[in-house]
């Protein structure tokens, strides 16, 4: 059975579709937050932000706590974008080629 977009389903009204969208967006935000927390712990257990600032070619003075915060925000944003990208791809309807090859 081919996958159809949720907007084509007559069983859902517009309010329910918005709730599904916001729930999926919330899941992507929360999961990316948790993964960023783990990545920050692992990364900063190995690398000190103050030392990274010393060897960096950029001349901006960033303290240790600012380095932790910037690293976490970077990890969170990267994970959110990848999670959102995967969610968009999974929500796309199947192509005609995928429909033909699935029935063989």
Q: What is the pLDDT of residue 9?
A: 63
Is the pTM above the cut of 0.85?
Answer: no
Of the candidates 41, 68, 39, 63, the one whose C-alpha atom is nearest the C-alpha of residue 50 is 63
HSE of 27 in the Cβ direction (CA atoms, 13 Å)? Answer: 10
Of the candidates 84, 69, 91, 72, the one whose C-alpha atom is nearest the C-alpha of residue 34 is 72
Q: State how far the Cα of 74 lies from the Cα of 68, in Å rounded to an integer.
A: 10
Q: State how far the Cα of 103 lies from the Cα of 72, in Å rounded to an integer.
A: 45
- For the residues 4-25, what does the mean pLDDT come to? 76
Based on the number of CB atoms within 10 Å of its own CB, is 41 exposed (0-12), middle (13-18) or buried (19 or more)?
exposed
Query: Which one has a higher pLDDT value, 42 or 1?
Result: 42
Q: What is the pLDDT of residue 10?
A: 66
């Amino acid at each position: 059975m081919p996958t159809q977009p949720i907007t084509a389903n007559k069983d859902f009204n517009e309010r329910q579709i918005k709730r599904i969208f916001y729930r999926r967006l919330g899941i992507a935000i929360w999961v990316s937050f948790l993964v960023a927390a783990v990545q920050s712990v692992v990364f900063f257990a190995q690398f000190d932000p103050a030392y990274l600032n010393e060897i960096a070619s950029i001349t901006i003075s960033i303290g240790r706590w600012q380095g932790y915060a910037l690293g976490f925000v970077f990890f969170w944003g990267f994970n959110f974008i990848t999670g959102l990208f995967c969610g968009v791809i999974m929500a796309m309807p199947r192509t005609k080629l995928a429909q033909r090859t699935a029935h063989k």
